[in-house]
């Protein structure tokens, strides 16, 4: 049995993962539940983990994986599947039942995307990756990119992760997007409009927010999912 606060937090995490492909930060959780400090969030997270609803991935910022949901949130009978999946598991190590994906599609991996200093624009397919069909929500084509760098680590996106991107040329404030800067550099950042400028914001305090004239930034897609290999 979950308390109301525990249920509210689990629902908030589930909704944010479904929308953004990554879990919310502790600050976002604190604001959503109207708590005064992060210590209350830590206690709720610990309680949910002890009850088997979530799992925290060690040494990874904001890496919270939903393992199951109560029936009130569509769990069990609803057939919930975690949004973060693991790949390249050694044959001797059995896969967990909740990680089995029946409906999958292969997406092209279009090289590497910088989560740090922008790198050259991406245009070549390096290989393909199987992605759960449920992750490919919304209209438009999808593709995948391998992350290079640590500027998005507080958004739960680490160096070496594969991000799933839905092609689009529009974005809302706060969306994590693939941005093409001056038709030469591609980067994965949070998108914000500030007057006539575009701010590309990292999720790591070590990186400064970069401002560009609106006509110098083209949105090439929005983050919809994440694949992590161990």
- Domains in the chain: boundaries: 4-84, 104-229
Distance CA(221)–CA(60), nearest Å, equals 25
Distance CA(165)–CA(66), nearest Å, equals 21
Nearest to 50 by CA among 12, 3, 105: 3
Q: Catalytic one among 25, 148, 189, 190? A: 189
The CA distance from 45 to 62, in Å, is 12
Residue 108 DSSP SS3: strand
- The values of phi and psi at residue 6, to 5°, are -65, -45
Q: Please give the pLDDT value at position 92.
A: 38
Q: Are strands 197-201 and 104-114 parallel, antiparallel or unpaired?
A: unpaired
pLDDT value of position 172: 93
Q: Which CATH architecture has domain 104-229?
A: Ribbon (2.10)
Q: Indicate the pairing of strand 127-132 with strand 104-114.
A: antiparallel
| pLDDT on residue 138 | 59
Residues 192-199: contacts with CB under 8 Å, at least 24 apart: none
151 in catalytic set: yes
For residue 191, the model assigns a pLDDT of: 96
Does domain 4-84 correspond to CATH entry 3.20.20.70?
no
Does 104-229 match 4-84 at the fold level? no
pLDDT tens string, the chain, 230 residues long: the values are: 678 888 888 888 888 877 777 778 888 888 888 888 878 888 888 888 888 888 876 545 566 778 887 766 655 433 444 444 344 444 433 333 333 333 567 777 877 787 765 555 555 666 777 777 667 765 668 888 888 888 999 898 988 888 988 888 999 999 999 998 888 888 999 999 998 899 999 999 899 999 999 999 999 889 988 887 66
Check: CB of residue 98 under 8 Å from CB of residue 54.
no
Does 4 qualify as catalytic in the annotation? no
Which among 37, 38, 137, 151 is annotated as catalytic?
Answer: 151
Two tokens, residue 122: 């991406």
User: How far is Cα 136 from Cα 144, in angstroms, rounded to an integer?
Assistant: 11
- The pLDDT of residue 75 is 54
């Amino acid at each position: 049995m979950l308390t109301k606060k525990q249920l509210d937090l689990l629902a908030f995490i589930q909704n944010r993962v479904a929308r953004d492909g990554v879990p919310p930060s502790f600050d976002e959780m604190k604001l959503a539940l109207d708590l005064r400090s992060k210590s209350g969030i830590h206690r709720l997270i610990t309680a949910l983990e002890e009850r088997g609803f979530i799992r925290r991935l060690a040494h990874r910022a904001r890496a919270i994986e939903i393992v199951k949901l109560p029936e009130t949130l569509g769990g069990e009978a609803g057939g919930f599947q975690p949004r973060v999946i693991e790949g390249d598991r050694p044959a001797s190590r059995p896969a967990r039942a909740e990680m089995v994906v029946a409906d999958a599609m292969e997406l092209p991996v279009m090289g590497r995307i910088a989560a740090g200093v922008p790198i050259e624009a991406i245009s070549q397919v390096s290989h393909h990756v199987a992605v759960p069909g449920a992750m490919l929500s919304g209209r438009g084509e999808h593709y995948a990119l391998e992350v290079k760098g640590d500027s998005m680590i507080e958004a739960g996106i680490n160096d070496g992760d594969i991000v799933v991107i839905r092609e689009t040329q529009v974005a809302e404030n706060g969306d994590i997007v693939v941005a093409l800067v001056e038709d030469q550099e591609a980067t994965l950042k949070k998108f914000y409009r500030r007057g006539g400028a575009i701010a590309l914001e990292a999720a790591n305090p070590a990186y400064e927010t970069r401002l560009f004239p609106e006509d110098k930034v083209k949105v090439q897609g929005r983050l919809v999912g994440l694949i992590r290999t161990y």
